[in-house]
Amino acid sequence: MRITIEKSIAPLEILWRHWEEQGSLHVFQTRAFVQTWLETAAAAQRREPCLALVEMDNTPAMIFPLALRQRFGMTILEFCGGLLCDYEAPVLAPRCPQPDQAAMRDIWHALVCQSGAQAAHLRQVCTDIPNVNGTSRTNPLTLLPLWNNGTACAARSNGEAGAAFLQRIRKKRLTQDSRRQLKRLGALGNLRFVTASTPEERLLFTQTMIAQKQRRYKETGVFDVFSLPGHKAFYLSLARDDGCASQNLPHVHISALLLDNKILAVHWGFVWRHTFSYLMPSYEGGEWQRYSCGRLLLEWLMEQIFDEHCVCFDFTVGGEAYKSDWCNEEQPIYAHCHPAGVRGLAYAAVLGAKRGALRLFRKG
């Protein structure tokens, strides 16, 4: 085993590109996602790149896109993307051997120690990593000591057309209500669903999504992810750089529901391989909230995406109640902490205390 840590993507560019074409990885570990995050949020939040190449049997096998951050006066190793990364997993070579538990724990311990961090903290460890042919393989990080940290869910069509899938899975009350809302909105003007196709549309829809999300965060008292430095710039930068010139790059998919020139709802997500990632839905409040604009856009999106040969509409992480109306697949999400030294043990103890307090709160 050999581990090399780089401070930029450049030394790994050729290898990473090849593995995007033929290896196993999530959209959150693609070069486009990682590089944009490093240039925007990571730079603004003073996080240091720590991109680790792992060789097994003298052959490049895995890339871990990680970064160092300061927390509680300690240096903590985390995945690139921070709060914007829904799935944490390495990039795997096409013929990467599956390590056993002992080997993976040795690799991870050596990597954490070599990084100089006092602890490694993973929050969104998923069970599987997608292959290029639509299958998946086991995430080697699941061989580490983990604790449950929620679930992710998806709608999987298995090749079924969008309209047929919706007809089968959608509840009758939702079908009837959607027809009624479309009719009501259609009576007010020219109602249309649009997938952004120009730089101007992509930028406008992204700016609107951010404004609508921030309004909703304020209304509900939920933490505003856009309040963190560099997060707005991350989404705006990816919106400008389409990334769809090659099928081996993630496509930033931005869509909206418009009434005349009024943007009623927006969705911002990715198309990667055979999966659509449903990431940032937003909608207008006030008088428009009663029309269920966000749900109307979601239903249209699902039909379009399945018709375009994506077989998985991934709602990713989070336990929002509405997802149960659409999903037929669920997977656990895990967290992990690996201390390195006495200070790392203190960090792990703080995390353990927080988990214990949260369990008591839920029971109470």
SS (H, E, C) 58-72: CEEEEEEEEEEEEEC
pLDDT tens column, 140-174: 999 999 999 999 999 999 888 999 999 898 889 99
Torsion angle of C-alpha atoms 171, 293, 274, 90, degrees rounded to 10: -110
Whole-number pLDDT of residue 242:
61
Whole-number pLDDT of residue 246:
47
The class that CATH gives domain 159-310 is alpha beta
Whole-number pLDDT of residue 244:
47
Work out the angle between the directed axes of helices 293-307 and 162-169 (0-180°, nearest 10): 130
Q: How many angstroms separate the CA atoms of 125 and 148, rounded?
A: 9
Torsion angle of C-alpha atoms 204, 240, 20, 10, degrees rounded to 10: -150
DSSP letter at 8? S
| Cβ-contact 302, 323 below 8 angstroms | no
Find, among 106, 109, 26, the residue nearest to 339 by Cα. 109
Whole-number pLDDT of residue 364:
62
CATH 3.40.630 residue ranges for the chain: 2-149+332-363, 159-310
The pairing of strands 191-195 and 251-259 is antiparallel
Q: How many angstroms separate the CA atoms of 189 and 80, rounded?
A: 44
Question: In the CATH scheme, what architecture does the domain 2-149+332-363 have?
Answer: 3-Layer(aba) Sandwich (3.40)
Low-confidence ranges of the chain (pLDDT < 50): 244-247
Whole-number pLDDT of residue 92:
99
| Cβ-contact 130, 273 below 8 angstroms | yes
